[in-house]
Structure formats: structure tokens, C-alpha cells
A and B are shown apart, each in its own frame.
Chain A
Amino acid sequence: MHEMALMESLVDVLAREADRHNIARIKKVKLTVGALTHALPDALQFAFTVLREQPLFAPEAELEIEERETRGRCGSCGVEFAVEGNFGFLCPDCGGFAIEIIQGRELQIDYFEGD
């Protein structure tokens, strides 16, 4: 469900951008998806197969997803680290807990292709 809602937002953005750039048919979309978003690539792909039935997309349009792990930066010592299992928001070096999320919340449209 979550993924379908996200993909509907994708269609909104793409419809506007395609219009702006005079693109009639979108053939490819590239997304970056962070692990902390709970957006599952398989479910996003499935939602995309439903949505690409719309005239905005070419029938064979493809979705490429780049996954990003969750990473944090310690507010005390500045070290950057992978947040294991999306869960350990504690600095592995100094034990600090003022952790800033620097990666993993992405839901970004990098580019799209079409003509």
C-alpha cells in the first residue's frame, strides 16, 4: 500500500516534468531508495507495472532502483557509520547517541528518459 502511494506521487511528479520538457512517453525512471523508508523495491516494481499502463509511459517502461543503506554521523565525535539493521543509532566509536541520519531516508527521482 505504502509503495503504491509512493508510486502515485512519482506519477504526479513525472507527469508535470514530462509536460515541461515535451516528453510524450517515458521509457525509463531511476529512483534512489533509502533503507529507512520501508519502501520495498519489489513492491515498488510491482506498483510501477500497474501504473505504467497509463499513456504517460511506454508499455515497456522500466524502473531502476538504487538502494541505499542507512548511515549516521555522530554529533559528538563526527564519525560516520552504517546503522546496522536500521536500528543501532549509537556511535560505534564513542558511544554517543546524538546521531544525525545522513543517508537512508532518500526517496529521490534521479532522472527519467523518454521521447
Chain B
Amino acid sequence: MQIKLGQNLLGANAAVAGEIRRLMEEKGLLLLNLMSSPGAGKTTLLEKTLAAVKERLRVAVIEGDVATTKDAERIARLGIPVVQINTHGACHLDAAMVRDVLPAFDLDNLDLLIVENVGNLVCPAEFDLGEAMKVVVLSTTEGNDKVPKYPLMFREAGALLLNKIDLLPFTDFRLDELAADLGQIHPGLPRFDLSARTGEGMDRWIDWLSNQAEERRRR
């Protein structure tokens, strides 16, 4: 017997993501999904971002990691509510993992919830977490080829952070090539060139992010 289905393989994930999205809208809370390759500097960037935005916004973090709690410990030191999800080998978070940790937060008293996804440019792009926005971090030391090699991630992103611009003189990364590639794959994508380590360019990103969260709260 043949059974016709015609249904999305990730239908169950999409349904949970939809629930999360509705909940976040109801609470006026901006859920942000932060993604990058391993080593792009996501956690440092997040630490610096949180230290700045916590003056303006009530913020919390969900840390995704394959096995350790190292990143969550770094965030907790800032006095920010953080929950660690260990994926036990899986290369991405899925919507059910996020839903299951939401009760750990006081959602009525938050403006911004940031999910730091597992470092990986392929799988996280495929799994909707119910986020309002995906933010992708690319670092100058990774080379220009990440954009054409992982187009879905850059296509789906709502903002691109180019990190480690302090290292530009020591790499062969080219800003004009990045601009040309993004022009092909995602014209108009908001882009912030910055260095989380030196703080250069961070203000523009933090203002933009804070405005996004404040706009959502007012809605």
C-alpha cells in the first residue's frame, strides 16, 4: 500500500517554532538566533554586546553547545539569566529544545532573548527556532568563501556581523569581495563591521539591536 504524504520532513519542528513565535509576539519579546562557524567569535561578541545592552534592555540568553557549559559560565558572570542546552552531539538546536527551556525565564520581564546556536553554518540554517531574526557572524580570519559556500545561512540572515576587523591587515579577507557576494545573495542585508575584541564598530551594532528590541516591545 502506498500512502501519499506531501508533508515537510521538518513539519514537527516548524509547528513548535510557530508556537514559540506566537508566544514571543504576545510577550513583545525579540528572539534572536545568533549563528556562525566555530571560532568566529560569537561568545566574545555576545559578552560584549550583553554588557552594553543590559543598560537599556532586559536580556537573557540560551546557550547551545554540543557538550560543554563553558559559554554559559561566561554569560552568567555578567549577571544575565542564562540556560545551557547541550545537544549531545547534534550540530544544531531545534525548536523543541528551545521551547523546553523557556519556562526557566521570566518572559514577561524580558525585552530580548538571544539564542547562541551551535557553531555551524549548515544545520542551524535549516531548523527554525521561532526566532524573529537570524543574525550571522562571519569573521575575517575565515576567508571570503564562507558566503558563497553556505548561501542559505546568508540568505536567511536578518543581519550580518563581520567580526575581527582588527585582524584585516593580517588576512587576505577582502571587504569589496564580501560586498559583491552579498549583492548576489542578499542585497540590502544590514551589515556591521566590528571587532568584539577591540570594541571598534560595536556601538553601531548595539544601537541597531536595541532599536529592534524596543520597536518590538512597543508593538
What is the chain B residue whose CB lies nearest that of A90?
B184
- Among B7-15, B41-49, B72-80, B210-218, the one that faces the other chain is B7-15
B38 in contact (CB, < 8 A): no
**0 or 1 for each of A17-45: is its CB under 8 Å from B? (1 = yes):** 10001010000000100001111000000
The B contact surface, by secondary structure, is mixed
**0 or 1 for each of B175-213: is its CB under 8 Å from A? (1 = yes):** 000000001111110000000000000000000000000
A97 in contact (CB, < 8 A): yes
Number of A-B contacts (CB under 8 A): 97
- Among B20-28, B56-64, B100-108, B147-155, the one that faces the other chain is B147-155
Distance to closest chain A CB from B8 (angstroms):
6
Would A108 and B8 be within 8 Å (CB), given that A36-B152, A87-B185 are in contact? yes
Assembly CA distance A69 to B28 (angstroms): 38
- Verify B1–A1 contact, CB threshold 8 A: no
Which of these, A89, A107, A111, contacts B3 with CB under 8 Å?
A111
What is the chain A residue whose CB lies nearest that of B90?
A5
Assembly CA distance A9 to B186 (angstroms): 29
- Verify B123–A89 contact, CB threshold 8 A: no
Assembly CA distance A13 to B148 (angstroms): 33
Assembly CA distance A93 to B48 (angstroms): 44
Assembly CA distance A107 to B148 (angstroms): 21
- Verify A109–B151 contact, CB threshold 8 A: no
- Verify B91–A5 contact, CB threshold 8 A: yes
Residues of B in contact with A (beta carbons under 8 Å apart)? 1-13, 89-92, 94, 122-123, 125-126, 148, 150-152, 155, 183-188
Known: A6-B126, A38-B152. 18 other contacts (CB 8 A): A2-B122, A2-B123, A6-B9, A21-B3, A36-B151, A38-B122, A38-B126, A39-B126, A85-B148, A87-B184, A88-B184, A88-B185, A107-B8, A107-B10, A111-B2, A111-B6, A113-B3, A114-B1
Which 7 residue pairs of A and B lie closest in terms of their CB atoms, listed nearest first?
A97-B187, A107-B9, A2-B123, A1-B91, A109-B5, A113-B2, A111-B4
